[in-house]
Amino acid sequence: MGIREEHRVRMLRDIQRAALDLVEEQGLESTTMGEIAARVGVSERTVFRYYASKDQALMPGQQGLIDALVGSESAHHTPSGILEDLLAVCREQFSHEVEQRDFRRISRLMIQEPEMLRVVTRQERSLVEALSSALVHRGALESLQSLLLAEVVTASWRVAWRSFAQDEYDGVDSDPLTLFDQTVRELRQLFPST
């Protein structure tokens, strides 16, 4: 509520925007924290006070997705049932994220700059950890199952996103929900009914 909080939010956003601007203009490798700081008009040190790393400045993490997944409840008690629910949460979150303008920018950069994809992927480690430990905490699953579930959910998210990014890069205006559904359908095809 305080003016302090607003300031912080604006700063976080400004830094990310500046970072994305610069990467679009001159590529990831040749964009330094010093430049980002200069563009925002603050010192380099200050940028590091808002984002712990260059990675996070570019891709602030999947906190929205993490919250949605961790906060979700499942009526099911079998691994497959829980997976279904988690994927449904992902699906919804996915179409929600696509609304964010920066999400689209990052998506395009993921294809333009291969290193950008690695940045995004690095950030996803915390998603797996948060989700798997949340699942263990719920009590319905064992450690191995939870980890596997978290990995599968994250992989689905990543593949759907990359698929979306490719379309976005190609100028194809695809529906995120359809895209996510297609990904999940292909995933299920890997495990036939027999």
Partner DNA sequence: ATGAATCATGTCATGGTCTGACAGCATTGG
Partner DNA sequence: CCAATGCTGTCAGACCATGACATGATTCAT
- State which of residues 17, 38, 148, 181 lies at the interface with its own copies (CB under 8 A): 148
Q: Where are the beta strands (DSSP E) in 40-177?
A: none
Picked from DNA, its own copies, none, the partner binding residue 108 (CB below 5 to 8 A depending on kind) is none
What is the distance between the alpha carbons of residues 47 and 44, in angstroms, rounded to a whole number? 5
How far out from the chain centre does Cα 131 lie?
Answer: 13
By the rule CB under 8 A, 163 interacts with its own copies: yes
By the rule CB under 8 A, 145 interacts with its own copies: yes
Picked from DNA, its own copies, none, the partner binding residue 33 (CB below 5 to 8 A depending on kind) is DNA
The CA-CA-CA angle for residues 27, 33, 37, to 5°, reads 110
By the rule CB under 8 A, 194 interacts with its own copies: yes
What is the distance between the alpha carbons of residues 150 and 147, in angstroms, rounded to a whole number? 5
Instruction: Quote the least distance from Cβ 85 to its own copies, whole Å.
Output: 12
What are the structure tokens assigned to 14, written together? 């400004």
CB 19 within 8 A of CB 57: yes
Stretch 102-121: interaction string toward its own copies, x if CB under 8 A: ----------------x--x
Instruction: Quote the least distance from Cβ 188 to its own copies, whole Å.
Output: 6
User: How far is CA 91 from each of CA 4, 87, 160, rounded to the nearest angstrom?
Assistant: 34, 6, 9
What is the distance between the alpha carbons of residues 178 and 194, in angstroms, rounded to a whole number? 27
User: What dihedral angle (degrees, nearest 10) is formed by the CA atoms of 54, 159, 179, 144?
Assistant: -110
Residues 4-63 that bind DNA (CB under 7 A): 4, 7-8, 11, 30-34, 41-46, 48-50, 52-55
Give the DSSP H/E element, type plus range, for residue 49. Answer: helix 44-50
Instruction: Quote the least distance from Cβ 75 to its own copies, whole Å.
Output: 16
**Residues at the interface with its own copies (CB under 8 A):** 78-80, 83, 118, 121-122, 125, 143-145, 147-149, 151-152, 155, 158-159, 162-163, 166, 182-183, 186-194
**Residues at the interface with DNA (CB under 7 A):** 2-4, 7-8, 11, 30-34, 41-46, 48-50, 52-55
